[in-house]
Amino acid sequence: SEYQVLNTAYQTIQTALNQNQGGGMPALNSSKNMVVNINQTFTRNPTTEYTYPDGNGNYYSGGSSIPIQLKISSVNDAENLLQQAATIINVLTTQNPHVNGGGGAWGFGGKTGNVMDIFGPSFNAINEMIKNAQTALEKTKQLNANENTQITQPDNFNPYTSKDKGFAKEMLNRANAQAEILGLAQQVADNFHSIQGPIQGDLEECKAGLAGVITNNTWGSGCAFVKETLNSLEQHTAYYGNQVNQDKALAQTILNFKEALSTLNKDSTAINSGISQLPNAKSLQNMTHSTQNPNSPEGLLTYSLDTNKYNQLQNIRQELGKNPFRRFGVIDYQNNNGAMNGIGVQVGYKQFFGKKRNWGLRYYGFFDYNHAYIKSNFFNSASDVWTYGVGMDTLYNFINDKNTNFLGKNNKLSVGLFGGFALAGTSWLNSQQVNLTMMNGIYNANVSTSNFQFLFDLGLRMNLARHKKKDSDHTAQHGIELGFKIPTINTNYYSFMGAKLEYRRMYSLFLNYVFAY
């Protein structure tokens, strides 16, 4: 009967756990023979059938009892014990017997009916725990059966040879198998922790004091050292899990050593080749280099990185990150304009020629200041511009010394044109100069704030001469000029690794007040 199967499995486990009868809890790789004494009582007809008060199922009473004692030979090992535990759970879940009194005694008050109605979730968790433990045990046996010998001459280990590469492949397979076993072990612990109610406590604790000893007070306690076993299992899973990961990494490295070495060689060559094409990069040459130890197996190279050169490159990279032209590779050309405002001073001498004295020249020195803000999609800056130099203009009056009472009696008005050129210097001060000039390593940016300038100017002038009180007096003259200047030369303000920043005033429109004496 199913009860006999259930009882046999239960008695087998208890006998195995009893130190005096079955030898106690077995190790994974140990096995002991044992004899299981099974005591059973059968009831002989006639019997009477009754229905439980809650209406769930029937029970029988009456008849005569017949005690039976059986002795069977069995084996105390992990595989057999797990199989017996699986048998118990299978019988309980498939036969689903009625639980008299409900689940109150097990902490499931309010639940009545059959076993699966009350303990279903816990039994499912136990069933999964047993399956995972059986799978872990089977894979452990397979792993131990396929264990390979160690390397006979580790000093001559060379991943280039097929033999040693095959060893690395087997090492990786074993590490993957070990990782799978550890994962199953962790699942066993997780399954146990998901068991509900006092059932978990009954399985953890040994109320009888000794494993395998059954008394009226043991209840469902299996005394199988479950708590101690799980604690040890979780500790070893965490510890050996790290070792297995290291083994996998080592095996993977050895297995792909040849390809990795080839990639490393290509990367090293690419780094040095790229650096060699950079301007002013002599101090960074050979940042990576390889050496071969004559005592190492053939084909093994040691690659080294010059930390000083690498740190220098890192500093340059950080400086480049703050440079507004760091994306110069995607910029072909941009032209941006901004309005300028300023003031200027001009001091010089003028003279007129001819009978009508309507042609003349003037010679002067000048100083102009302007301020501008120029905006683009990658570089915004404010600039102060100074222009200074000397110039010469040709003067022509188409109205010359015309008498007028404008602003006084007997004044003379002259209106005319002027045009000429100037030789000057231009200086720019940019608000981004700190970032543009902060490159103090091998890639010093070229910043030129000043340059020679050639300008044209053209405009309209009006001059009003006051009447002289005495012949010996100089004539005081007041005038205004409206004109524009055209600078012709760009200021190559900044250049860095092919990126250039040039400034130039396109033109200046000016209004001057002139005083001549």
**How confident is the prediction along the chain (517 residues), in pLDDT tens digits per residue?**
788 888 888 888 888 887 778 777 777 777 888 887 777 666 666 566 767 666 666 666 666 667 777 788 888 888 888 999 999 999 999 988 888 777 676 667 667 788 888 888 888 998 999 999 899 888 888 887 766 555 555 555 555 555 666 767 777 777 888 888 888 888 888 888 888 777 777 777 766 566 556 666 665 555 666 777 778 877 877 777 777 777 777 777 766 766 777 777 788 778 777 777 665 566 667 777 777 766 655 556 677 777 887 777 777 777 666 666 655 554 556 677 778 899 999 999 999 998 888 999 999 999 999 998 877 766 677 888 999 999 999 999 999 888 887 776 778 889 999 999 999 999 988 776 655 665 555 555 667 788 999 999 999 999 988 766 665 455 788 999 999 999 999 988 777 666 777 888 888 999 999 998 7
Segments in 205-321 forming alpha helices (H): 226-255, 257-276, 307-321
pLDDT at 330: 46
Predicted pLDDT of residue 396: 95
Cis upstream peptide for 46 (omega within 30°): yes
Yes or no: say if 285 and 442 are a contact pair by the CB < 8 Å rule. Answer: no
Q: Which two tokens stand for residue 317?
A: 């990279």
Q: Rg of the chain over CA atoms, in angstroms?
A: 51
Provide the 3-class DSSP secondary structure of residue 328: helix
**CA nearest 141: which of 265, 28, 228, 297?**
28
How many helices and strands, by DSSP H and E, does the chain display?
Answer: 9, 18
Taking the C-alpha atoms of residue 116 and residue 96, their distance in angstroms, rounded to an integer, is: 6
Residue 472 CB: number of other CB atoms within 10 A? 6
Say how far residue 452 (Cα) sits from the centre of its chain. Answer: 51
Sheet harboring 446-447: ordered strands across?
A: 446-447, 491-496, 499-503
Per-residue pLDDT at 2: 82
Q: Which two tokens stand for residue 278?
A: 């950079």
Which tokens belong to 334? 């941009």
Question: Taking the C-alpha atoms of 203, 208, 211 and 216 in order, what is their torsion angle to the nearest 10 degrees?
Answer: -80
pTM of the complete model: 0.46
Closest CA to 439 of 350, 283, 319: 319
State the angle between helix axes of 115-145 and 162-193 in degrees (0 to 180), rounded to the nearest 10: 160
DSSP single-letter state for residue 56: S
Residue 204: per-residue pLDDT: 72
SS3 state at 339: coil
d(CA 62, CA 51): 14
Spatial CA neighbour of 139 closest among 184, 100, 103, 187: 184
| 8 A C-beta contact, residue 265 and residue 301 | yes
SS3 call for 487: strand
φ/ψ bin of 197: left (φ > 0), alpha (ψ from -120 to 50), beta (otherwise): left
Residue 463: other Cβ atoms inside 10 A: 22
- Burial string for 435-457 (b: 16+ CB within 10 Å, else e) reads bbeebeeebebebebebebebeb
Give the up-direction half-sphere exposure of residue 429: CA atoms within 13 A in the CB hemisphere: 7
- Count of Cβ atoms closer than 10 Å to residue 16 Cβ: 27
Q: What is the reported pLDDT for 128?
A: 93
267's tokens = 């990367």
Instruction: Pinpoint the alpha helices (H) of 96-225.
Output: 115-145, 162-193, 198-204
Write down the pLDDT at residue 436.
61
Q: How far is 94 from 153, CA to CA, in rounded Å? A: 58
